Amino acid sequence: MSLVINHNLMAMNAARNLGVSYGNLETSTRRLSSGLRITQASDDAAGLAVRELMRADVSSLQQGIRNANDAISLIQTADGALGVIDEKLIRMKELAMQAATGTYNSDQRLIIDSEYQAMASEITRIANSTDFNGIYLLNGALSGSHDGSPLKATGKLKVHFGTGNDSSEDYYYIEINSATASSLGVGLAAGSGAGASISTQELAQQSLDVLNKAIISKDKIRANLGALQNRLENTVTVLEIQAENVQAAESRISDVDVASEMTEFVRNQILTQSAVSMLAQANSMPRMALSLIG
């Protein structure tokens, strides 16, 4: 190479290498400070697209877990109220047994029937007042076909936990039959037939079978809720595993390998320092031409 002063090609070459090394050093610094391998689309355009989809899935799965846990809380609320109704039905059967024996007179049976009716009224009150976040659980509002109206859905309650909208994978329904006294067939609200009253020995005897059926009906509701709760708990477990695996996959795409990147950082730091030194040397080379001039 000729010794020239019009162009300093060595300095230009050193400056270009310095720019490359400094850019790589800036990238390593950005990755190490953020903990992410992909901090902008130019780092890995395809990887960024995949990562964002995975992040959306993770967020959706985590919300699905919360949805399922909320449904478990709803079921536990309904089951707790049914447990109290269970106690009332047992007491009503005890009263019917008491009124069915011949050792009580009519006035005494009327007194027994007054407590019987009070228990029936309490069952209806509990069923009509048990709610979760404004959703009434035991008055029959959650029975029948689902009607997802814009303002207030009726019928079966939809529990959505999946990331899509497939009925076989992403959601299912909770259905709770009515547990009011009239639905169970006990108390005056049920009409004038068997189970309505125990004011006479005959009515008390007839009420025993009705109360047995009422207890069975209530037990069916509780058994169904118990099965749903177990299913939801299993769903939560699966969703947690799924979210963990998707998060791990997203991490492999998105997160920086600190050990590897630190190695690159030190390499780029050395190259940058070397380029700066060589640029300084290259800038001094044209001065050598002065020694040839006069």
CA dihedral defined by 185, 191, 193, 196, rounded to 10 degrees?
60
The pTM of the full predicted model, rounded to 2 decimals, is: 0.78
CB 243 within 8 A of CB 61: yes
Residues 7-30: tens digit of each pLDDT: 778 888 888 888 888 888 888 888
pLDDT tens digits for range 137-168: 999 888 866 555 544 556 789 999 988 888 77
Q: Which residues contact 200 (CB under 8 A, 6 or more apart)?
A: 99, 106, 109
In the structure, what pLDDT confidence band is assigned to residue 254 with cuts at 50, 70 and 90?
Answer: confident
Percent of the chain past pLDDT 70, that is, above it, reads: 94
Write down the mean pLDDT value for the chain: 88
- Domain 47-254, CATH: 1.20.1330.10
- Render pLDDT for 204-251 as a digit per residue (tens, 0 to 9): 999 999 999 999 999 999 999 999 999 999 999 999 999 999 999 988
pLDDT of residue 26: 86
Q: Largest alpha-carbon pair distance within the chain?
A: 143
Position of tokens 């090609």? 9
Residue 66 clears pLDDT 60, i.e. is over it? yes
Looking at residue 258, its pLDDT comes to 87
Instruction: List the chain domain ranges.
Output: 9-35+256-292, 47-254
CA 51 to chain CA mean position, Å:
21
Average pLDDT over residues 66-91: 95
Specify the higher pLDDT residue, 286 or 133.
Answer: 133
pLDDT of residue 132: 93
Per-residue pLDDT band at 100 (split at 50, 70, 90): very high
